[in-house]
Amino acid sequence: MTHSTITKGTVRQIYHTPLLELIYQAATVHRQHHDPQEVQVCTLLSIKTGGCPEDCAYCPQAARYQTNVQAHKLMEINEVLSAAQRAKDTGSTRFCMGAAWREVRDNRDFDRVLEMVKGVNKIGLEVCCTLGMLSESQAQKLKDAGLYAYNHNLDTSEEFYGDVISTRTYDDRLDTLHHVQKAGISACSGGIIGMGESDEDRIGMLYTLASLPTPPESVPVNALVAVEGTPLENQKRVSVWEMIRMIATARILIPQAMVRLSAGRVSMSAEEQALCFLAGANSIFAGEKLLTTPNPDIDADAELFQTLNIKPRPAFKEQALSVV
């Protein structure tokens, strides 16, 4: 299926396939495009925490909500590079730096981030950033510094988006993805389930991602982690079956992408995670925290990988393949 032939009806049909059949179809597609024993291990570091002016209803880093997140200024370059080295030593091959900004500004903080990108690149990790909205020239500067990937999630469908965020538009998000891809940076974009959206909203988000001129090479599927003090603090946790349905549909729609089992993994058993891998997830975040929410520890992941005979995907694999 080429992305130009995808309709919302096609996405709906795939999404509503009986679950075991859906897992089987997704596992089949997964094997055609990926090594099923290989999972990319990424580490996510919050390089500037809290104090964000946005009003994303799920986010404990928004300045307007009373949460337990302590605001911190942008980290020093050497601290970040030490963290990147530790991530590499424990098996990560992609290092993502997140800053709680609404958008990137052309100032000394951005200059410092560019130096961080150069440094992490030298360590030999795929370097990724998530810094909010970007202009075309900022995307180019990040590319020139050696940025490999940029994460900018759509979060949900265009229809439901206004229920979650009012401080920027859906088009703002799509514009940033366009700037990233135009600069030749790999796009990482997915969403969050469990915010009160309908199945139709989940279908809409997957349809938007799959029908982009170039679909993202990485699609994170997050389960909402309801944080006290945020407007979504009372949302019930989504079931693992809903996560599997999202992962499997994403895998079939965007076969080449890395589908990331992201937030919410800490509350999944080893068996539930194994089903997610079977359904086409081939990337996880390692380390104790995902920006500000808990994540399984490295020992638990090592045990899971050993049980399932999974090996970490090497860094820059796509580039290595295209050179061969």
Q: Which of 168, 245, 260, 265 is catalytic?
A: 260
Cβ atoms 81, 97 nearer than 8 A: no
Q: Which of 56, 168, 265, 276 is catalytic?
A: 56
Annotation says 96 is catalytic: yes
Annotation says 56 is catalytic: yes
What burial class does residue 3 get, using C-beta atoms within 10 Å of its C-beta: 0-12 exposed, 13-18 middle, 19+ buried? Answer: middle
Q: Which of 188, 265, 276, 313 is catalytic?
A: 188
Annotation says 52 is catalytic: yes
Q: Which of 42, 59, 129, 276 is catalytic?
A: 59
Q: Which positions ≥6 away from 267 have C-beta within 8 Å?
A: 223, 237
Annotation says 42 is catalytic: no
Annotation says 128 is catalytic: yes
Find where tokens 């179809």 sit: 25
Q: Which of 42, 128, 129, 276 is catalytic?
A: 128
**Residue-level length of the chain:** 324
Buried b vs exposed e over 264-303: b needs ≥16 C-beta within 10 Å? bbbebeeebbbbbbbbbbbbbbbbeebbbbebbebeebee
Cβ atoms 267, 227 nearer than 8 A: no
Q: Which of 12, 42, 86, 96 is catalytic?
A: 96
Active-site residues: which are they? 52, 56, 59, 96, 128, 188, 260
